[in-house]
A and B are shown apart, each in its own frame.
Chain A
Amino acid sequence: MHLDPFELHQPATVDEALCIYRDHAGDADYLAGGTDLLPNYKMHLNLRRHLIALGGIPELGGIALGRLGSMTRLADLEGSGPVAGAYPGVAEAVAEVATPLVRASGTVGGNLMLETRCFFFNQSRFWRASLGYCLKAEGAVCHVVPQKEKCYATFSGDLAPALAVLDAEVEVATDRGRTRIPLIDLYDLRGDGIRRHTLPPSAIVVAVHLPPIARQRLGTYRKLRIRPAFDFPELGVAVAVRFEGSSVAELRVAVGGLETAPRRFDELTDPLAGQQLTEERIRELAGAITRSVRPVYNTFLPPDYRRRMTGVFVRRALVDLAPASSAAA
């Protein structure tokens, strides 16, 4: 398998990058660490002839307690003691991404903007051609849910759920200027696996901003996969919680690796504010989340199992974080 030739652009500023994108709209991609994009290119997935490298833009770098530049390497985030100390769930999630080699190149921005994944999509051109291309690349049908004209490719980034439960925001640069939006709004479950985020295609993620309050939250990230040392999540559960005394002040739960977008369950967790996190409430919450997720069979493990594990993982995470006084395992 070879990489088709492309033209590499190396802008020094965000504006320059946006400008290059505009010149080649529809035929350009941003390149961060390349650990997701380039394997996909080798498989001839949605090739573009212009690659705009973000590595030379100083503004996208930098790692500090409240701000992670989008070009922050995952390995640097993992190795950053203060960040890991303040956001334990993020630290757990980043350590679970891929392999040390991938983390040395892979970036925070690339992880958030990761291409969605599917058994029928992450295949060579030969493989896909022999079956017939699918909606997400060059084709007209979905091989997973043929009845629907929609793509169900799975969002498989580990960081998004872990950052989403902290109410992180992303700073985005587009042709129309800068905006800051809640990180969870990058994703939209009503969309599909083709449009994997809500930003315009030219948008650049500049940085992730973390609210300082995160310091007082307890957090964890639990990941389902066959091989801890390599694999994409078949399910990722992130929880952040702040207790006042023995009752919940704030609780957020998010999942990834299940559907076309990561998802947070504020409508289920908000009513728990002020309550004790009893074993029964934990079970109810875990059950409600399990009932609402809809994985499909396009990853290694079957969807009914991944769904059942959603409940198990949510329950275990909450039991582990709850003060000893309120929940019993």
Chain B
Amino acid sequence: MASPTPPSPTGPFRLLGHRIPYVEGPLKVTGRAEYTDDLRRPGMLVGKLLRSPWPHARLLSIDTRRARAMPGVVTVLTGERYPTPFGVLPITHDETAIAVGKARYIGDILAAVAAVDELTAERALTAIEFHIEPLPEYADPRVGAEPVAEPIHAPGLRGSNVQKEVVQHFGDVDAAFAQAAFTARVRCRFAGVTHAFTEPLVTLAEATPDGRLTVYSATQVPHYLHRTLSEVLHLPMHRIRVVKPEVGGGFGGKSDPLPHEIACAALSLETGRPVKMLLDREEIFYTNHGRHPTENVVRIAMDRDGHLLAYDIEALLEGGAWSSFGTVTTYYNGVLAMGPYRVPNFRYRGRRVYTNRPPSGAMRAHGGTNIRYSIEVALDELAEHAQLDPFDLRSRNALPPCSTTINQFRITSTSFLRCLDAARRASEWDTKFRCLPYGRGVGLGCGFYISGSNSPIHFTPVMPQSTVHLKIDMDGGITVHSMQADIGQGSNTLLAAIVAEVLGADLDRVHVQRVDSDVSPIDIGSYSSRVTFMMGNAARRAAEEIRARLVNAAAELLRRPPSELRVGHERIEVADQPQVAVSFLDALHKAMENSGALTASGSFSTQKLGGDFKGARAGTAPAYSFAAYVAQVRVDSETGMVTVEKVWAAFDCGRALNRLAVEGQIEGAIHMGLGQLLSETMNYRASRLMNPALLDYKILAPDQMPEVEVLLVGEDDPEGPFGAKEAGEGPLVATLPAVANAIYDAVGVRCRELPVTPDRLERLVRARRAEGYAWKEDR
């Protein structure tokens, strides 16, 4: 294995901090990596789902006899067979694998069929007969926020479709506004967007005669799937085995336990045969769980000197048919406004409303994206009113390191000021802002995001969020087990690199085992940007335990006290006499003398953080990432077409442990953010999704990506592994406001409705011209 190149400005480590190619890269680029759909089992059946053509209907009766009688059909399942409700959050179990009693959106699952092949299964679906009573359809969350005739679930507040309401108030917001020198008020509307991961949703389930059930699935949280299968199918967890093969992207869309996964497992239990269920792209659009369509109003008060006095925020989230992560989302849309600035007074009212549409859920930069947009756009306006440079306004209000926010978030490391400084200088901001010709502009947007959620969903505080097991036998290979879920973001590579770094071993000694609940210790998976921080700390601890044993063995061989030794590359050496050393293998074999293979376990648990009020734990994290992005755009004022020319992305992820992966995450996050800003939309007409296909759901193409200059300026976090925080989600949020503020600099219009498609922007520019006030062309 070649050592990574080039050794860059990276600090004290041999591997970490460098650019480390993905360990599974060669398998992926040659097509040899194994995804769930690549798996085949003997006697395997095909599972298919019948989906509701009605947005809201009472299911009066279902007749599956004709379908069951068809040759090649092995079984047909309806909702009553496994009616136990579930949901990713224990407090909101409102989903069922297959609809029971009611259909709640176009695409809701009504029945599942297992048959010998796809064609037979699809034909069987058409032979299932329903009697239904159509119910009033609720597509507009503003309507659903009031009392309704037929609530979608058990009635919420005052007989409405409200699923969750959050009200928080810290300090005295009204008093702060009363004494403000400057205020801004911004109302923005955000269309829903979806993850659109490349690998489709797919599950293969195999119930075996020994009473066990094995489920292979494209999931980013194998552990929640494991729990949910157990709850709904009434099988003890130890008789269920969950395996996660390679996963081709998730972005949050594979973090809920999903109904098709349970339905597929149920079909296998019923038939006693392996069943594979591969959803097509349209079904994936209906499964959704993407970013909530949102309307928010942000008011900000500022004093004469540019110090922020208060935020007053309202948000209305459209939840779709299920709760999913929605309670968390509702909190996040308020509390994730608490950084990167010091905000002394804060009020928030957020509501999430069920609708008869595909469920909303968690999507990359969950809960932090839309609120961040409105705040950063409002700050741009405030800076203009106060005749302050947008950078100066932000640096004046930066949260300092080792501080506490008004809602008691604990801020440890922050390199936000360094981000501002780097972005300002690299982009040559001071020569461009309000100076570029009409149609071209620069804008600043900043970011703040959690690095892991301090309070795991299911766990008591004593139970670790992450555990890593290591095993080294005499061959010198190091096997790593963990239920962390690599979904393409590079966590396997990081896991291997941390272990290799601590042990001084070559990277090719380390093999990260595929996630398999029979052997992998629990880690709660890939979401909330937690993996590097938590798994990284767990891996480090496990490797340090092994290292101590190797050092002791070497000490015996070298007849030196362990304290005089250190780990070198593939060897253990005397610290002040490095030519005196034993090889890694010699030390290993010595250490194994009486014990056999070396094994170790490392884990990571969070300590309690946050205040003692209701909802205090939402948004608490062991660390936070910070960002300052400058975008430069060209706007064709006559067509409304936006070209993003360049993004300078200054990011504080603490120490970047794999620079290659961090840069990839930042570039990918910018691409995703640009899509939400400029073109992506879950385009509904009432309850009907008009574009459940990748041709009509407009993800920007690679040739529309701007040049991205990544500026990694983070200083070490005191608690993160080797100083690291997160780079998975935080890099998204600054993108949208940076570009929107650049559009303002270019043509003088504020974008309040996303996506900013060319027709919308053209209309705004025309309206501005019709009002007769000119923008930069007159200066």
Binds B, one of A125-133, A134-142, A242-250, A266-274: A125-133
Residue of A nearest to B700 (CB): A227
CB 8 Å contact bits of B616-644 with A (1 = contact, 0 = none) = 00000000000000000000001100000
**Residue A228 at the chain B interface, CB threshold 8 Å:** yes
**Which of A228, A300, A305, A312 gathers most chain B CB within 10 Å?**
A300
Which of B51, B280, B759 is A301 in contact with, Cβ under 8 Å? B759
Q: Taking CB as reference atom, which chain B residue is nearest A224?
A: B639
Instruction: Report B76-91 CB contacts with A as 1/0, cut-off 8 Å.
Output: 0000000000000000
Closest to B695 in A: A230
Q: Contact between A119 and B757 (Cβ–Cβ < 8 Å)?
A: no
Cβ-neighbour of B282 out of A2, A124, A308 (below 8 A) = A124
In the complex, per-residue mask of A276-301: 1 if CB is within 8 Å of any chain B CB, else 0: 00000000000000000000000011
> How many Å lie between the Cα of A202 and that of B52 in the bound state?
39
Docked Cα-Cα span, A301 to B761, in Å, equals 12
Of all chain A residues, the one with the shortest Cβ separation from B762 is A305
| Chain B positions within 8 Å of A229 at CB level | 701-704
Say if the beta carbon of A226 comes within 8 Å of chain B.
yes
B54 on the A face (CB < 8 A): yes
For residue B229, give the distance in angstroms from its CB to the closest CB of chain A. 27
Interface positions of A from 25 to 59, Cβ below 8 Å from B:
none
Minimum CB distance partner of A304 in chain B: B759
B698 touches A312 (CB 8 A): no
B600 to chain A, nearest CB (A): 49
Cα–Cα, bound, A130→B757 (Å): 28
* SS class, residues of chain B in contact with chain A: loop
Is B488 close to A, CB under 8 A? Answer: no
A228 to B704, CA, bound (A): 8
Q: Are A228 and B698 interface neighbours, CB within 8 A?
A: no
- Contact, CB under 8 Å: A308 / B692: no
In the complex, what's the smallest C-beta–C-beta distance from B671 to chain A, in angstroms? 13
A327 to B472, CA, bound (A): 78
Residues in B with CB closer than 8 Å to A231 are 695, 698
Interchain CB contact under 8 A, B696 and A300:
yes
Contact of A130 among B106, B280, B696, B762 (CB under 8 A): B106
B679 touches A226 (CB 8 A): yes
Q: Does B303 contact A (CB under 8 A)?
A: no
- Asked if B282 and A127 make an inter-chain contact with CB atoms under 8 angstroms apart, the answer reads yes
Contact digits for B654-696, partner A, Cβ 8 Å, 1 yes 0 no: 0000000000000000000000000100000000101111011
How far does the Cβ of B343 sit from chain A's closest Cβ, in whole Å?
37
The answer to whether B758 has its CB under 8 Å from any CB of chain A is yes
* Residue in B closest to A315 when the chains form the complex, CB atoms: B638
Counting CB contacts under 8 A, is B53 at the interface?
yes
Contacts of B282 in A (CB 8 A): 1, 124, 126-127
**Set B698, B762, B763: member contacting A226, Cβ < 8 A:** B698
Partner of B638, one of A129, A130, A312: A312
A309 at interface by CB-CB < 8 Å: yes
Nearest-Cβ distance from residue A96 to partner chain B, whole angstroms:
12
A146: CB under 8 A from chain B? no
B688 pairs with A2, CB closer than 8 A: no
- Contacting pair B701 A230 (CB below 8 A): yes
A175-224 interface with B by 8 A CB criterion: 224
The 7 A-B residue pairs with the shortest CB-CB distance in the complex, in nearest-first order: A130-B53, A229-B701, A305-B759, A227-B701, A226-B698, A1-B280, A226-B679
Supplied contacts A124-B282, A231-B698, 5 more A-B pairs, CB within 8 Å: A123-B692, A224-B639, A226-B679, A302-B759, A312-B638
